[in-house]
Structure 1
């Protein structure tokens, strides 16, 4: 198998999904379905097709239902392990806790479990890793950026060429972070274990050192944040 495919992937599935209630009162948000397939299953099928083998999924709220639904990943030809969280660790804290399970040599892929992006170019993302490894000032993160959705018109970060910044860069375009990115393990080296830690401050710090790259993705991408959005996606995919 091509070396580029051997990086692990971390799926973030520990959120409570408050805005999706009452749907998430009895079901973890990433198990909600589009076209009778859970959001996590869409990701897992795409990861398997791209040649990734090892996936770690964190969970908290009703996490046992995620483990029951997905098992060890054999149905997807993947090896799935789980990183349970008893209290919310935020994104970076969850990644830090899962690092020993991910055991990346350098880079790994991270995807929000509650986004729907059925045509995601995972193989092309993985190709970036080869380029990063040959760079003298290796990026600590590479973010997939998307046009600002209606519910998030102000965007998150600025993209100019392949550079991502927290502050305006000339003619840079302000875009929304998709929740999908490649990270180097060193980005999380100073985080304490089991301490809630947000990802955005780590990224902003790395941006000041010009160590965050990115690319604009204009294919289908949806943040499945409300019952209405879930209903609309199911209606559009009927």
Structure 2
């Protein structure tokens, strides 16, 4: 079971920053997870919420601000370009979550595919593009069917969306997996990989191991390795 750092080693460092990903390397993470949005001038950046309020105390919306405005308000912001360079340099796989719904529709997927090709990332590291949006995952298939995808599920996601997704992997939340462990077998019976988020508790880590989870996404990579007895 591989251990991926959720927004970096985000239990110990500000999420989605270089410090968080440097921390993830130090903590032995096999790969990185991140969230992607695009600015008004179409710069893909690592950001979770639609606004800057939670992380920067700024009420501005990412989609309505230029990259220069965002970086002025939050200097630690990472671009997709910088993030990919760091992942490639450290030979870390990446799980790239595109956030939806957004005003720009599927433009984030288009820019992401271009970036992956320009970096030749697909030949250098393991890459999977993720989304809770079924339509976004299917858009990725149309843009480049060679790029691995993960369809993310939350508690209200209809099972038929996972069943008929073109994704190579399915990503249920840990809360849902804990409540209904049989979800793992249902996903595996479809021939899909199992990428589970966000797993920090000891019992949940052990449960994921027992259920044959492929990628465990955690805020605490070092802790997960210790619980699993990894060197």
TM-score, structure 2 as length reference: 0.31
Q: Taking CA–CA contacts closer than 8 Å with sequence separation of 6 or more, which of the two structures ends up with the larger relative contact order?
A: 1
Q: Which has the higher helix share?
A: 2
TM-score, structure 1 as length reference: 0.31
